[in-house]
């Protein structure tokens, strides 16, 4: 079967999406100076959900039925509440660039879980090799010292890996359960479900949110909620339409360099060489899984 090519328009969409999502890790770091973890998650999902609800009503998109609302509630828990909370807490202890690189391992766990649950996504020898190479990359990033001398930084790295596993379960759940919904309504319903879960949790753990925030924090929250969440979902579906699902995985490789760049530029973050070596292995593993690079060589 011929692979879907990536047009200039698709590349620009993928780069825009990677730039925005890469910037979300910087936004987390800036907001954490004033706002506790769960309250940040509330800001991200609540304002994004309200923005998308406005779009749903404006476009007259059909609403979910009762069964679909249950599915979207689970999706919001797996794809928003758990991973956002774990990544943001992880960034209280590790650099934003390192968190983004570890987040790039989401594809590894998605491939593994998809192979377990779907007959048409079984692991071939090539995919197995790619997953192993990428997993070695994750191990290189975390390092043996993190396991021998387990500390709060080690736990933070494990938290980001936990977020990746939750994203993978969300991908499997979404493929199996979300059917017949407009993409914008699916994103809106998922974020609404996340709001129903995270708002009571944040009020219980963090208390009432402060409204006296400095300009940097306020601007970072606005960026995180609208461009990095609401608009990013719209870009995601545009990229899916333009590039196809296989090419969309390229975003996984584009986000970490952008996040590392923003962390270096704004926060003066310096990552260890092992982080870059690990990312290179993850990227190489993804290329093995994708297969097109080696197919071109054979041709």
Q: What is the DSSP string of 205-258?
A: HT-SPPS---HHHHHHHHHHHIIIIIIHHHHHHHHHHHHHHHHHTHHHHHHHHH
Q: What is the pLDDT of residues 150-203, one digit of tens each?
A: 788 889 999 999 999 999 899 889 888 888 888 899 999 999 999 999 999 999
89 within some domain: yes
pTM of the model: 0.88
Reduced to 3 states, what is the DSSP secondary structure of residue 64?
coil
In a domain, residue 124? The reply is yes
User: Domain span at residue 245?
Assistant: 8-298
Interacting residues of 17 by C-beta distance below 8 A, sequence separation 6+ = 232, 235, 236, 239, 251, 254
In a domain, 3, yes or no: no
Indicate whether 2 belongs to any domain: no
User: Which residues are CB-contacts of 34 (< 8 A; sequence separation ≥ 6)?
Assistant: 210, 213, 214, 217
Handedness of CA 108, 187, 46, 65 (dihedral sign): negative
Q: Which residue has the tokens 């779009």?
A: 55
Q: Confirm whether 20 is domain-assigned.
A: yes
| Inter-residue contact 43 to 198 (CB < 8 Å) | no
1 domain-assigned: no
Tell me if 204 is assigned to some domain.
yes
Number of separate domains in the chain: 1
Task: Give the least confident one: 158-162, 227-231, 243-247.
Answer: 243-247
- What percentage of the chain exceeds 90 in pLDDT? 46
Distances (CA, A) of 176 to 54, 117, 118, 245: 28, 9, 9, 16
**Position 196 in a domain:** yes
Contacts of 55 (CB under 8 A, 6+ apart): 61, 184, 188
How many angstroms separate the CA atoms of 141 and 73, rounded? 33
Residues 92-107 have pLDDT tens digits of: 999 999 999 898 888 7
């Amino acid at each position: 079967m011929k692979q879907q090519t990536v047009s200039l328009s698709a590349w620009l969409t993928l780069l825009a999406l990677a730039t925005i999502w890469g910037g979300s890790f910087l936004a987390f770091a800036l907001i954490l100076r004033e706002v506790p973890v769960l309250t940040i998650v509330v800001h991200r999902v609540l304002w994004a959900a309200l923005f998308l609800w406005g779009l749903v009503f404006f476009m007259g998109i059909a609403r979910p039925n009762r069964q679909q609302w249950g599915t979207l509630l689970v999706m919001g828990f797996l794809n928003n509440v758990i991973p956002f909370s774990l990544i943001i807490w992880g960034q209280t202890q590790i650099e934003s660039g390192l968190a983004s690189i570890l987040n790039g391992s989401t594809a590894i766990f998605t491939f593994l879980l998809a192979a377990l649950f779907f007959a048409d996504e079984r692991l071939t020898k090539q995919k197995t090799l790619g997953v192993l190479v990428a997993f070695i990359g994750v191990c290189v990033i975390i390092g043996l010292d993190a396991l021998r001398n387990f500390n709060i930084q080690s736990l933070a790295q494990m938290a980001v890996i936990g977020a990746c596993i939750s994203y993978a379960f969300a991908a499997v759940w979404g493929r199996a359960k979300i059917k017949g919904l407009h993409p914008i309504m699916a994103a809106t319903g998922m974020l609404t479900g996340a709001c129903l879960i995270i708002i009571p949790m944040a009020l219980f753990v963090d208390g009432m949110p402060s409204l006296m925030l400095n300009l940097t924090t306020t601007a970072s929250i606005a960026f995180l909620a609208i461009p990095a969440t609401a608009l990013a979902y719209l870009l995601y579906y545009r990229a899916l339409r333009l590039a196809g699902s296989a090419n969309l995985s390229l975003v996984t490789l584009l986000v970490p360099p952008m996040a590392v760049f923003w962390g270096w530029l704004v926060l003066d973050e310096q990552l260890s060489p092992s982080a870059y070596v690990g990312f290179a292995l993850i990227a190489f593993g993804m290329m093995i899984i994708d297969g097109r690079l080696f197919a071109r060589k054979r041709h």
